[in-house]
């Protein structure tokens, strides 16, 4: 029963966080000048309104199931030419990771100020908070197609940006292969996440318990 509870809490919470991530991109774009996001239905929490349900929802959930990594969803389609400035374009890109950080802080506040235990929903909540940080760190990697790169891209030479963008999918695959199969990179990635967790006072042991309960098939 505890495993089922944790699984449901994490899956539902993760889908909500993916919607919040995409919504955050869209709402900043809206105020930055791209009002087309409203017509596209992005200013909602409906997963089916985003660019591609598979890339935005299904794949991130699959990655969570396989490795406990917070894969960002496919970004909403922003008509960047409508945005008022390069700063707004960068702000749109950073809005998604910012939402993950805010959600991590909110969950951590709940964990630190409410009477919690090592049973019930709390291991799942702690694991979900940790996953927000993994999504934050992963998203801020400054290579395409991650948000960290998209925040810098407006300031790159147009030809250089075009050349880099052509290999976006390949670069993303390389990043995940390196994260999965190069131990010191994987260790550094999680070291950064756990360091931020310590700063925010996320109960890491409870989060690890949540991971173990979530991945009940292992």
**pLDDT tens for each residue of 117-138:** 777 899 999 999 999 999 999 9
pLDDT confidence of residue 54 = 62
Residues 74 and 52 sit within 8 Å (Cβ to Cβ): yes
Annotated catalytic residue within 2, 22, 79, 89: 22
Give the tens place of pLDDT for each residue, 149-198. 999 999 999 899 999 999 988 998 899 889 888 999 999 999 999 999 99
Give the tens place of pLDDT for each residue, 49-63. 665 666 666 667 777
**What integer best gives the mean pLDDT of the chain?**
88
What percentage of the chain has pLDDT greater than the value 90? 56
pLDDT confidence of residue 119 = 78
SS3 for 15? helix
Give the tens place of pLDDT for each residue, 28-43. 999 999 999 998 888 8
Instruction: Write b or e for each residue in 170-201: b if 16 or more Cβ atoms lie within 10 A of its Cβ, otherwise e.
Output: ebbeebeeebeeeeeeeeebbeebeebbeebe
| 2 is annotated as an active-site residue | no
**What is the mean predicted confidence (pLDDT) over 83-110?**
96
pLDDT confidence of residue 101 = 96
Q: Tell me which residue of 177, 175, 146 sits closest to 21, measured CA to CA.
A: 146
Q: What angle do CA 10, 13, 19 make, to 5 degrees?
A: 135
């Amino acid at each position: 029963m505890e495993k089922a509870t944790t699984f449901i809490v994490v899956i539902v919470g993760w889908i909500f966080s993916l919607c919040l991530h995409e919504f955050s991109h869209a709402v900043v774009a809206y105020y930055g000048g791209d009002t087309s996001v409203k017509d596209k239905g992005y200013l909602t929490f409906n997963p089916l309104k985003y660019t591609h349900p598979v890339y935005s929802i299904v794949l991130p959930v699959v990655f969570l199931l396989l490795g406990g990594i917070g894969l960002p969803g496919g970004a909403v389609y922003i008509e960047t030419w409508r945005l008022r400035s390069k700063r707004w374009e960068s702000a749109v890109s950073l809005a998604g990771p910012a939402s993950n950080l805010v959600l991590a802080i909110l969950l951590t506040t709940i964990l630190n100020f409410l009477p919690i235990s090592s049973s019930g929903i709390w291991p799942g909540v702690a694991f979900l908070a940790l996953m927000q940080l993994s999504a934050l760190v992963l998203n801020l990697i400054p290579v395409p197609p991650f948000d960290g790169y998209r925040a810098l891209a407006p300031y790159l030479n147009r030809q250089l940006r075009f050349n880099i963008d052509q290999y976006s999918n390949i670069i993303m695959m390389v990043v995940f292969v390196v994260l999965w199969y190069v131990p010191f990179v994987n260790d550094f990635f999680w070291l950064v996440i756990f360091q931020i967790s310590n700063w925010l006072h996320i109960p890491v042991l409870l989060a690890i318990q949540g991971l173990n309960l979530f991945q009940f098939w292992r």
